[in-house]
Amino acid sequence: MPESSTRDPSRSSIGTASSYLSNVSNFKIIESTLREGEQFANAFFTTEKKIEIAKALDEFGVEYLELTSPAASTQSYNDCKAIVNLGLKAKILTHVRCHMDDAKLAVATGVDGLDVVIGTSSYLREFSHGKDMQYIIDTATEVIQYIKGEGLEVRFSSEDSFRSDIVDLLNLYRAVDKLGVNRVGIADTVGCASPDQVAELVRTLRGVVSCDIECHFHNDTGCAIANAYAALQNGATHVDTSVLGIGERNGIPPLGGFVARMYAADKEYVKSKYNLSKLRDIENIVADAVGVSVPFNNYITGYCAFTHKAGIHAKAILNNPSTYEILRPEDFGMTRYVAIGHRLTGWNAVKNRVDQLGLPLTDADCKQITNKIKNLADIRPLSLDDVDKLLRKYEEAKSDEKHHAILESIDTPDQITQWQ
């Protein structure tokens, strides 16, 4: 059997990583639209909208939902309790400062766990909270022991991890790991890290702690998804995402983009975990809530994601979609579209449309029509409706041997548009 017919087309045959550290096929998503996403410039979620988003993400299948700290406001506290009371399958977490008052308030909401954070870089220690590393360790010990005493899940994370002193960082993680935290977290708070730097830090950390490792990557320099993937390859277990990547500044890994990356790494694993066809609905809910449009080139759901235009591409796609698609649109409830009303079109794409319309035209007919479409598209692109009108008009005229005259009589696309 030919190799091309047996190999999974969604996976690269070059440089595939296989490591005993890798969790590419064993990871969990901590979905932070209702925490990190609230920090997006346009974001204001009512209680009703938060509940709608939480239910949609739960239906998609994320393992965790992370909520804004109940210490942020009275409404944030009440919203936390409201989502806890929904009885969702996903575990409910809230993100709090490393402070006993915040921890006690969070525990009172009934959440499943607390994500505790404190800044560790010299920048944050000097210009944010002003505390030294020993104070951080002492405070972390008090807060973690309290949370564990309440029987809740706890993650402890540094903030601005990649600009923190590595010795300080590892000593801190070693100390909290001994206290029995469920996860330690690393955060690229300013988006400065590269995949190589992520790989090195996560590998090093994996050798220091026995607990799980969560990663939070900002996208200021465009590496958030790649960094998340590098983290999983090297021993991380949990990745933070938000719908459409919304968050502080340029946000964090978008849920859809991260899922696309992981689908390409292990399609069956991702399909078994998540209800992929729900992704578009979730993105539309969030986009509407924050007053933005889903980008044209958005991962999976953007209107260009499965649109094919160039003639050579279209021919191959029509023969075997895997030639130019690493993702199967039908797995995500999407459909592919072959654009044909433009100067780059090819006759195979036109013939495919002829077949869809059930018109009895030959390959020679399709080639002649394609040449006319190309000429007209040098003036402006033709809509699919224009192309369909042309195909039908040509087929009708062919019975009277007037089909060549029809093509010769058309000088502009507007003539076709005006046909009834």
Measured between alpha carbons, how far is 215 from 198 in angstroms, rounded to an integer?
9
Say whether pLDDT at 136 is over 70. yes
Average pLDDT rounded to a whole number, residues 195-223? 97
Query: Phi, psi at residue 338, to the nearest 5°?
Result: -100, 110
Provide the mean pLDDT of the chain.
Answer: 92
Token pair in block for residue 29:
């998503």
pLDDT of residue 17: 47
E strand segments, 128-243: 153-159, 183-188, 212-217, 238-241
Q: Strand, coil or helix: what is 68?
A: coil
* Residues of the chain above pLDDT 90, percent: 80
pLDDT of residue 1: 46
CA distances from 391 to 310, 341, 400 (A): 20, 12, 15
Beta bridge partners of 216: 187
Residue 105 DSSP code: H
At 380-394, the pLDDT tens digits run 999 999 999 999 999
pLDDT of residue 122: 61
At 56-75, the pLDDT tens digits run 999 999 999 999 999 999 99
Name the band, by pLDDT with cuts 50, 70 and 90, for residue 9: low
Query: Phi, psi at residue 28, to the nearest 5°?
Result: -130, 145
Of 238, 313, 342, 404, the active-site residue reads 313
Say whether pLDDT at 241 is over 80. yes
Backbone CA torsion sign across 107, 109, 110, 116 = negative
Measured between alpha carbons, how far is 311 from 88 in angstroms, rounded to an integer?
48
Say whether pLDDT at 223 is over 50. yes
Q: Which residues contact 251 (CB under 8 A, 6 or more apart)?
A: 36, 37, 40, 218, 219, 224, 242, 244, 245
Name the band, by pLDDT with cuts 50, 70 and 90, for residue 7: low
To which residue do tokens 């979609």 refer? 321
To which residue do tokens 């006993």 refer? 100
E strand segments, 25-121: 28-31, 64-67, 91-97, 113-119
pLDDT of residue 311: 81
At 331-383, the pLDDT tens digits run 999 999 889 999 999 999 999 899 989 999 999 999 999 999 999 999 999 99
Q: Which residue has the higher pLDDT, 393 or 5?
A: 393
Name the band, by pLDDT with cuts 50, 70 and 90, for residue 313: confident
Measured between alpha carbons, how far is 82 from 70 in angstroms, rounded to an integer?
12
Asked about 313 being catalytic, the answer comes back as: yes
Q: Strand, coil or helix: what is 338?
A: strand
Average pLDDT rounded to a whole number, residues 81-91? 98
Residue 290 DSSP code: H
Name the band, by pLDDT with cuts 50, 70 and 90, for residue 4: low
pLDDT of residue 330: 96
Query: Phi, psi at residue 65, to the nearest 5°?
Result: -115, 125
On whether the pTM is more than 0.85, the answer is yes
To which residue do tokens 């729900």 refer? 278
Name the band, by pLDDT with cuts 50, 70 and 90, for residue 87: very high
Cα angle at 168 between 166 and 170, to 5 degrees?
Answer: 65
To which residue do tokens 């490393």 refer? 98
pLDDT of residue 133: 79
Report strand pairing: 153-159 vs 64-67: unpaired
Say whether pLDDT at 14 is over 80. no
Q: Which residue has the higher pLDDT, 317 or 374?
A: 374
At 73-82, the pLDDT tens digits run 999 999 999 9
Characterize 162-198 residue by residue with b for buried, 16 or more Cβ atoms within 10 angstroms of its Cβ, and e for exposed: bbbeeebbbebbebbbebebbbbbbbbbbbebebeeb
CA distances from 411 to 358, 373, 384, 393, 407 (A): 26, 11, 18, 15, 9
Say whether pLDDT at 224 is over 50. yes
Say whether pLDDT at 43 is over 60. yes
